[in-house]
Amino acid sequence: MVKIKFNSRTPRTILNEMKWKEGCDIVKAEIWYVHRGALDDTMIIRGGDILELGRSFFRTESASIPYHRIFKIAYDGDVVFMRRKREENL
């Protein structure tokens, strides 16, 4: 299997690249984000559940999640974005 290299650096641009880059499929993405009240304040959503990639948030059927809450993105099992969770600033 050939691993896809992403050139983007921010969650928004990485997700857009997954959506539009030839050979990519956003359905293969998993997005970890801070969600107060959830176990360990963390929720995971699959790329196939994303309905819209907006300017400052992405939208699912049940919520709009700001990109700054994302702390990890995996594509086809490989981590392509990671930053330390900073709940105190979110």
pLDDT score, position 87: 52
Question: If pLDDT is split at 50, 70 and 90, which confidence band does 6 have?
Answer: confident
Question: Distance between CA atoms of 72 and 61, rounded to whole angstroms?
Answer: 21
Q: What is the rounded end-to-end Cα distance, in angstroms, of the chain?
A: 37
Domain encompassing residue 28: 11-89
pLDDT tens-digit map of 13-61: 999 999 999 999 999 999 999 998 888 899 999 999 999 999 999 999 9
pLDDT score, position 37: 86
Answer yes or no: is 24 within a domain: yes
Query: pTM here?
Result: 0.87
* Structural domains in the chain (count): 1
pLDDT tens-digit map of 28-40: 999 999 998 888 8
- Spatial strand order of the sheet with 29-34 comes to 42-46, 29-34, 70-75, 78-82
